[in-house]
A and B are shown apart, each in its own frame.
Chain A
Amino acid sequence: AQSVAQPEDQVNVAEGNPLTVKCTYSVSGNPYLFWYVQYPNRGLQFLLKYITGDNLVKGSYGFEAEFNKSQTSFHLKKPSALVSDSALYFCAVRDDGGANNLFFGTGTRLTVIP
């Protein structure tokens, strides 16, 4: 069975500093990994995904994520945080039993301090 863990409920970072939101996963077989962001009273917006290929994945709004198979991690990163990046971030993994549904982490609230 697959699972995703986001060990930090809250991450605070100063504007202009690099940010990291952590995610670890557990799957049998090859992982399909995703990051989504949720702004207040909004649905989930897709940021990026890892299916195969390069371990560094680039996504929307300057975000990137590093896939590390040995550490079973898929951390989200951005070199320079913006106040507008403040939101709830979800890591997700696709069902490893062949279905297409996603299993989500509990979410990390990112606050960028001006």
Chain B
Amino acid sequence: KAGVTQTPRYLIKTRGQQVTLSCSPISGHRSVSWYQQTPGQGLQFLFEYFSETQRNKGNFPGRFSGRQFSNSRSEMNVSTLELGDSALYLCASRRAGVQETQYFGPGTRLLVL
């Protein structure tokens, strides 16, 4: 079974631009979560989507948004990019059920200049 895939793998943007990242979950997984990883803040939860609905949101500004499509694929958007948004953005998918494991994709590395 194919794992979680994320595109693109690498991205360079300039301040003020916006960016959209994509995540395709493991087949059969309906939950998709996004995390930001930086050297200073570590791994931080952004949001979770389940059946096209945002279930939970972390402590990030409104510039960070996401959505999920009917096929469970998810996109994450960051508007008005800041230098501090440079990070590895990780997507994770899991089956429904509170005890299910989150499986992570390889991440998208975003560099904001």
A residues near B (Cβ < 8 Å) are 32, 34, 36, 41-46, 49, 51, 90, 92, 95, 99-107
Q: Is the CB of B43 within 8 A of A101?
A: no
What residue in chain B is nearest A104 (Cβ atoms)? B43
A90 partner, pick from B33, B43, B109, beta carbons under 8 A: B43
Majority SS at the chain B contact face:
strand
Contact-size category for B: 20 to 34
Question: Which residues of chain B are within 8 angstroms of A43 by Cβ–Cβ distance?
Answer: 4, 6, 90, 104-107
B42 partner, pick from A34, A46, A104, beta carbons under 8 A: A104
Q: How long is the Cα–Cα vector from A51 to B97 in the complex, in angstroms?
A: 12
Interface-central residue, A90, A101, A105, by most chain B CB under 10 Å: A101
Q: How long is the Cα–Cα vector from A73 to B4 in the complex, in angstroms?
A: 30
Q: Is the CB of A101 within 8 A of B56?
A: yes
Q: In the assembled complex, how far is the CB of residue A39 from the closest CB belonging to chain B, in whole angstroms?
A: 10
